[in-house]
Amino acid sequence: MKKFLITALLAAMMIAPSTMSAQEENGFKKFSVEEAFEDNGFQWFRDAQLLCAGNRQQANAMTIGWGGIGTLWRRTALTVYVAEQRYTKQFMDSAEYFTVMSFDMKDSNVLHYMGTKSGRDGDKAQALGLHTAYTANGTPYYTEATMVIECKIMYAAPFDPQGFKSDVPKNMYTNFPAGIHSMYIGEVVNAWKK
């Protein structure tokens, strides 16, 4: 009887669905941004991160150096900016979610390539040998990242030049070929790190 129970238990374990998330399978552990975000929020975007949006059929990523992390509308929020002419903008405009990813400094070629090449010219992730995975919400990210923050877009709008109150933004866009940036404010809904 004991042998039968052990055999039945082993058989059940082999056919039971995995409770491990795709992120855990890729070496990530879930964490709370509110409690365990260890980076300096004022420096984090200056160090360059990777923004990705899209779906299982098509996605694109780009390096970003502008952004903010904090609280808005009683939600933990992350704000990113994408210029009008960037290929990623069309993905952000049609997405419900986006991811922001960090990479080890040894992978700085990833950030450089993603920031200097356009997805219009080919699949940048494939060219770099990155492996695309998806969150439970279907949001793309790369398994080579060291941290992934998934956000649900709460607000999106282009900057209105009528609102520029100093010369800083006026001067920025005087000869900026990519066009005025749009702001995307996302509620942080998931975060994982290795």
Q: Which pLDDT tens digit goes with each residue over 52-73?
A: 999 999 999 999 999 999 999 9
Per residue in 74-117, pLDDT tens? Answer: 999 999 999 999 999 999 999 999 999 999 876 679 999 999 99
Mean pLDDT within 110-135: 95
Structural domain contains residue 6: no
Q: What φ, ψ does residue 102 adopt, rounded to 5°?
A: -105, 150
Structural domain contains residue 11: no
Structural domain contains residue 1: no
Q: What is the residue range of 127's domain?
A: 29-193
pLDDT given at position 24 = 78
**Is the pLDDT score of 128 beyond 50?**
yes
Structural domain contains residue 150: yes
Structural domain contains residue 2: no
pLDDT given at position 4 = 45
pLDDT given at position 19 = 61
pLDDT given at position 12 = 42
Answer with the residue of higher pLDDT: 172 or 11: 172
pLDDT given at position 15 = 41
3-state SS string over the chain? CHHHHHHHHHHHHHHCCCCCCHHHHCCCEECCHHHHCCCCCCCCCCCCEEEEEECCCCEEEEEECCEEEEEECCEEEEEEEEECCCCHHHHHHHCCEEEEEECCHHHHHHHHHHHHCCHHHCCHHHHHCCCEEECCCCCEEECCCCEEEEEEEEEEEECCHHHCCCHHHHHHHHCCCCCCEEEEEEEEEEEEEC
Domain count, the chain: 1
Structural domain contains residue 20: no
Structural domain contains residue 145: yes
d(CA 164, CA 167): 8
Per residue in 42-54, pLDDT tens? Answer: 899 988 999 999 9
Task: Please tell me the pTM assigned to this model.
Answer: 0.87
Structural domain contains residue 33: yes
- Any idea what the CATH number is for the domain that residue 141 is in? 2.30.110.10
Sign, CA dihedral 95-96-100-101, equals negative
pLDDT given at position 139 = 98
Q: How many Cβ atoms from other residues are within 10 Å of residue 165's Cβ? A: 8
Per residue in 17-41, pLDDT tens? Answer: 456 676 878 889 999 999 999 999 8
